[in-house]
């Protein structure tokens, strides 16, 4: 794409234009993502949903700068995204905490990304974010002393503490039990409401997407394309079993099933 022709939306944190990504496999070249054009607004909670193989995690890797587009372009504000940066941090499915560090030290480690801070400022920030995720009393605990949900809260605090412009989340709740997930949904919404951080979440759980997102982007595979975008206008905080939320999630699920059926018919 000619940089001169790249138009960014004034309210967008991330801008994707005609993004295509291919991989070479045993069966030849596979197009994982095809012609993705999308704006992620500043302060928006955007959720990417779709079945396995639709390119959700691939798209997140491109946004993080962990991989490069084959065609098209991605920009953060006015700057091209070509490599990882402190302005974009990723929270993965596994908490990836350092077992030899306690909770406070794990969050402090994330703050090493901010070399302009003093040690006292890092300590103050780490304690603030541990308090924000409800773990102020666990700062001396090691990861093995925490539940899975607590470890994911520490991982969230570590991701938020350096104050990235965009937080990228790759199915961070999928390995947790239902009660722990429900608590984390409430925590995330509370943090999002307070901090208004730009968040892009990848999930295969459509109720989770509707519970958390301002918009839900529906991707379908073969190749991965944006099929539909849903505006979620439900008030926060949302509960995943609220009837109105469940009804809207069913609508998104029906749309996805319809797109998948048409996609499979096209391959037949």
Burial 217-236 (b: 16+ CB within 10 A, else e): bbbbbbbbbbbeebebeeee
pLDDT in tens, 87-137: 999 998 888 899 999 999 999 987 887 888 889 999 999 999 999 888 999
Supply the pLDDT for residue 198: 95
Other Cβ atoms closer than 10 A to 104: 20
**Predicted TM-score of the model (pTM):** 0.90
My answer on whether omega of the bond before 159 falls inside 30° of 0, hence cis, is no
Pick from 112, 119, 84, 117: which is nearest to 98 by CA? 112
Distance CA 78, CA 49 (A): 27
> What does the longest C-alpha to C-alpha distance in the chain come to?
63
Given a cut of 70, whether residue 267 has pLDDT beyond it is no
Supply the pLDDT for residue 25: 74
The torsion angles phi and psi of 252, rounded to 5 degrees, stand at -65, -40
User: In the predicted model, what is the mean pLDDT of the chain?
Assistant: 89
**Contact indicator for 184, 174 with CB cutoff of 8 Å:** no
Supply the pLDDT for residue 3: 42
Torsion angle, alpha carbons of 142, 145, 147, 148, to 10 = 50
Supply the pLDDT for residue 8: 55
pLDDT in tens, 52-63: 889 999 999 999
Given a cut of 50, whether residue 215 has pLDDT beyond it is yes
Torsion angle, alpha carbons of 171, 168, 157, 208, to 10 = -40
Helix (H, G, I), strand (E, B) or coil at 33: strand
Q: Which residue has the higher pLDDT, 196 or 217?
A: 217
DSSP sequence for 4-30: GG----TTEEEEEEEEEEEEEETTEEE
Supply the pLDDT for residue 264: 62
Mean pLDDT of 192-200: 90
Tokens linked to 144: 């093995």
DSSP sequence for 190-254: HHHHHH--EEEEE-S-HHHHHHH-SEEEEEETTTBEEEEEEE--PPSS--TT-HHHHHHHHHHHH
Given a cut of 90, whether residue 206 has pLDDT beyond it is yes
Q: Which residue has the higher pLDDT, 19 or 268?
A: 19
Supply the pLDDT for residue 2: 45
Q: Which run of H or of E encompasses 35? A: strand 28-41
Other Cβ atoms closer than 10 A to 17: 20
pLDDT in tens, 233-247: 999 999 999 999 999
pLDDT in tens, 165-183: 999 999 988 878 888 888 8
Burial 27-45 (b: 16+ CB within 10 A, else e): eeeebbbbebebbbebebb
Pick from 212, 165, 200, 175: which is nearest to 56 by CA? 200
Supply the pLDDT for residue 115: 81
**Contact indicator for 90, 64 with CB cutoff of 8 Å:** yes
Given a cut of 50, whether residue 160 has pLDDT beyond it is yes
Q: Which residue has the higher pLDDT, 26 or 37?
A: 37
């Amino acid at each position: 794409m000619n940089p001169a022709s790249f138009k960014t939306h004034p309210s967008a944190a991330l801008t994707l234009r005609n993004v295509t990504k291919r991989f070479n496999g045993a069966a030849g070249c596979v197009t994982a993502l095809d012609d993705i054009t999308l704006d992620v607004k500043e302060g928006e909670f955007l959720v990417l949903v779709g079945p396995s193989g639709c390119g959700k995690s691939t798209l997140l890797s491109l946004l993080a700068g962990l991989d490069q587009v084959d065609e098209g372009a991605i920009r953060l504000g006015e700057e091209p995204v070509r490599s990882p940066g402190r302005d974009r941090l990723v929270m993965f499915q596994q908490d990836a905490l350092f077992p030899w560090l306690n909770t406070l030290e794990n969050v402090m480690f994330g703050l090493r990304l901010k070399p302009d801070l003093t040690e006292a400022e890092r300590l103050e920030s780490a304690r603030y974010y541990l308090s924000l995720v409800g773990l102020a009393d666990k700062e001396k605990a090691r990861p093995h002393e925490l539940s899975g949900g607590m470890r994911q809260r520490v991982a969230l605090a570590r991701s938020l503490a350096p104050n990235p412009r965009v937080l990228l989340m790759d199915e961070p709740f999928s390995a947790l039990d239902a009660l722990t997930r429900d608590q984390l949904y409430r925590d995330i919404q509370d943090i999002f409401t307070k901090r208004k951080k730009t968040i892009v979440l990848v999930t295969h759980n459509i109720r989770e997407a509707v519970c958390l997102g301002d918009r839900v982007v529906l991707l379908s595979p073969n190749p991965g394309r944006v099929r539909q975008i849903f505006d979620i206008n439900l008030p926060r905080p949302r509960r995943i079993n609220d009837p109105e939320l469940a009804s809207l999630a069913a609508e998104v699920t029906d749309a996805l099933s319809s797109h998948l059926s048409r996609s499979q018919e096209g391959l037949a």
